[in-house]
A and B are shown apart, each in its own frame.
Chain A
Amino acid sequence: MQDYRLQLDHWLYAINPDLKLDENDGVFIETEHHSPILISLSEQKPICHLYAPLPSLPYDDLEALFIQALELNSYGIPLGGCWLAWEDELNMLCLRYDFNLARGDQVGFQNTLQNFISAMGITTSLFAENSPQLDNIPIQQTASQINYQQLA
């Protein structure tokens, strides 16, 4: 795993020289309009997990919120391959994505981050509407497709 830690640190440095994995193999990236993103290196696999808490969702109707979240997870669309999960420690929904370090590169990683931030915006705006028309949502290119294209 040590090689992947170095690789990820290198890619983080390219985004911002102040970004570096901490002693727990995690790092927070601040975003302009949304919550910070936590990037955490897996202990077992060449994967880094991306998490973003979503505090501004309508938590007053949990059933409607959960159904909408799970429907958004369908096919990984329209969240670009990201998915929604409940984080017990934060007691709220988070956006999640797993980036495969073994088959990714620096450009793919940066595109994935950009795509992840876009998905945060899409999620927030979809939940802001009362009854989103999922069929009318423009399909975003999936994070994984972008990565793969960069590698091709």
Chain B
Amino acid sequence: MEKINEFLRPRIPNDLLGEYGSITLEKTNHPPITLDITNNSEVCHLSAPVASIPETNAIPLLWSALELNSLSYGNHECWIAKNHEEETLSVCRNLFIPELDTNNFNQALDEFFEIASGMRNAFLIDMDNSSLQ
């Protein structure tokens, strides 16, 4: 956890991972990214909300998400999941902490902001199209 705080310092000097190893990062016009690290884990889990699941006719959205999971998102090792307690789909990625330094960690975060943003826009277009049909 200390290592991730060190990597985060150039980006957010006064706001670091809390007691539960979680923090949410924001960037204008992008979905927020949540970082989660469990104790003694070597994996930093990133997630960002990309779509809300509609109360009716949810199948097209869920189907699209699972179809996207068959791709590798330009080999960025991401996948889409549903949050257990929310009707939201998130894009997720795991970073292996021992391989990270300040530069490649922040680069990975910036990449993830772009992936999440692109995916959110794609889902919005997809939903607009399906509601027109």
Task: Write the residues of chain A forming the contact surface with B, with a CB cutoff of 8 angstroms.
Answer: 42, 44-45, 47, 49, 62-63, 66-67, 69-76, 81, 83-88, 93-94, 96, 98, 100, 103, 134, 142, 144-145, 148, 152
B-chain residues with CB within 8 Å of residue A42 when the two chains form the complex: 72, 75
Tell me if A94 and B70 are in contact (CB < 8 A).
yes
Contacts of B81 in A (CB 8 A): 70-75, 83
- Is the CB–CB distance between A148 and B96 below 8 Å? yes
> In the complex, what residues of A have CB within 8 A of residue B122's CB?
none
CB-based contact A96/B62 at 8 Å:
no
What residues of A have a CB within 8 angstroms of the CB of B70 in the complex?
85-88, 94, 96
SS class, residues of chain B in contact with chain A: mixed
Give residues of chain B (64-103) contacting chain A, Cβ–Cβ below 8 Å.
65-70, 72, 75, 77, 79-84, 89-90, 92, 94, 96, 98-99
Interface size for B (C-beta < 8 A) is 32
CB pair A49–B67 under 8 Å, yes or no, is no
Residues of A within 8 A of B77 (CB): 98, 100
A148's contact among B59, B80, B98, by CB below 8 Å, is which?
Answer: B98
Contact: A66 with B62, CB < 8 Å? yes
Residue of A whose beta carbon sits closest to that of B72:
A98
B42 within 8 A of A: yes
Do B66 and A145 have beta carbons less than 8 Å apart? Answer: no
Are A66 and B63 within 8 A (Cβ)?
A: yes
